[in-house]
Amino acid sequence: MDFREFDELASHREAACAWVEAHVRPEWVEEQRRSGTHQTAELHTLLARDGILAADWAPEYGGSGVDPGFARAVFDELGRRGLACDGWSTTSMVLRTIEHVGTEEQKREYLPAALRGDRLIALGYSEPDSGSDVAAAKTTAVRDGDEWVINGQKMFTSTAQLCSHVFVLARTDPNVPKHKGLSMFLVPTDSAGYDIQPIHTLGGQRTNATFYADVRVPDSARLGGVDGGWGVMHVALVHERSASSPGSDGGSLVRDLAAWARTARRPDGTTVLDDPLAAERIGRMAVDEEVTRLLALRNRWRAQKGDLPGVEGSMWKLFATEAAQRHSSNILDILGPEGVLAPDAAGAPAGGRFEEGFRAAVVGTIYGGTSEILREIIAERHLGLPRNR
């Protein structure tokens, strides 16, 4: 692995910072926190207008020619300031999947529109009875001439409230082993028979249940072959677990803690940092943070070489999200009773970010593959251990 590959990103940081300073409104962070919707429409329009969404794409599909390093640095900077672009993250995973497995017609239909900021795509994999075992999906798609009729329910269809499409995993053949009878569809959210209900999670994030009652889509909305959905899902999942951002992995939380610990006084007049146990915990967090950053850089390095990061994406996701849980738990221990003050409470340290971070960390090890599933992937594919399931 050659870290020099990333020097070019460092040279974009100043310009990225200037772009964010000039365009981002600080109240957007608060809006995302209050609404639980981790995507801001105005910001998305600006990112599209300035070609940042379209930075890393071929011109024939709407690529803007903007330097991909600059675009990545902008997203890093947004993450650092606490602004998420979750709707765009899922959309870009699906766009990369379309790039890999879509027909030329599909590439021309979906890629330019999404890169112009006119399409957002949510992931419709999980169901009430299938999350980790996603291949057990019960939502069905039945062919009717040139159309498919979709019936079923999806759980945790995050950011669907802003999306133009849901990327739906559906069963197209119930009479074969479960992995072999699935297909993927891009379902417009303005389709007749589509419905959505909000779900508010412990971490404050809003996600959704989405419902499909005789929803009709044309065959051109099918991505990949009939019954070839499992292979398509695999491409999409690899992109999900490799969507790592070295600049936004909670680094600022530990920095905030260190800043607080330097000045906060205990009743005996000493600072929190004078306590060697607190200092040791903060030091360990900083080490975890660096490991997380390096694992993320490895993903980027592989992606830059044109590889599809596989098991590396799982390693990053597992380490980053479990470290976030350890950190937020340690932080609450160090803070004591003040640590549980929520963002709206008077006197909450760091404006309540620690309490909020603790709740958010709980769900981190669930979405995008649970820790148990990721460990199995690493055991099988990295260490060659026998399959457990």
Chain residues in the site for ligand FAD (CB under 6 A)? 122-126, 131-132, 156-158, 201, 205, 207, 363, 366-367, 370, 372-373, 389
CA atoms of 94 and 247, how far apart (whole Å): 23
Ramachandran region, residue 283 (left: φ > 0; alpha: ψ -120 to 50; beta: rest): alpha
As measured in angstroms, the least distance from the Cβ of 195 to ligand FAD is 16
Closest CB to ligand FAD among residues 129, 307: 129
CA atoms of 360 and 355, how far apart (whole Å): 9
As measured in angstroms, the least distance from the Cβ of 197 to ligand FAD is 14
CA atoms of 158 and 156, how far apart (whole Å): 5
Helices and strands counted in the chain (H then E): 13, 8
Q: Which residues contact 63 (CB under 8 A, 6 or more apart)?
A: 54, 55, 56, 57, 115
Structural tokens at position 201: 């999670």
- What residue number has its CB nearest to ligand FAD? 131
Q: Which residue has the tokens 């969404």?
A: 53
For 267, counting Cβ atoms within 10 Å of its Cβ (0-12 exposed, 13-18 middle, 19+ buried), the class is: exposed
Contact 154, 125 (CB under 8 A): yes
Contact 222, 183 (CB under 8 A): yes
The answer to whether residue 240 is catalytic is: yes
As measured in angstroms, the least distance from the Cβ of 209 to ligand FAD is 11
As measured in angstroms, the least distance from the Cβ of 387 to ligand FAD is 10
SS3 116: coil
**Of the listed 240, 312, 322, 376, which one is catalytic?**
240
Where helices occur in the chain by DSSP H, the ranges are 7-10, 13-23, 27-35, 41-49, 68-80, 86-101, 104-115, 229-241, 251-263, 276-304, 311-335, 353-364, 371-377
Closest CB to ligand FAD among residues 91, 245: 91
Closest CB to ligand FAD among residues 43, 122: 122
Contact 168, 122 (CB under 8 A): no
Q: What is the DSSP letter of 104?
A: H
**CA proximity to 338, closest of 348, 353, 350:** 348
As measured in angstroms, the least distance from the Cβ of 367 to ligand FAD is 4
Closest CB to ligand FAD among residues 131, 351: 131
**CA proximity to 239, closest of 345, 313, 339, 156:** 313
SS3 19: helix
Active site (catalytic) residues: 240
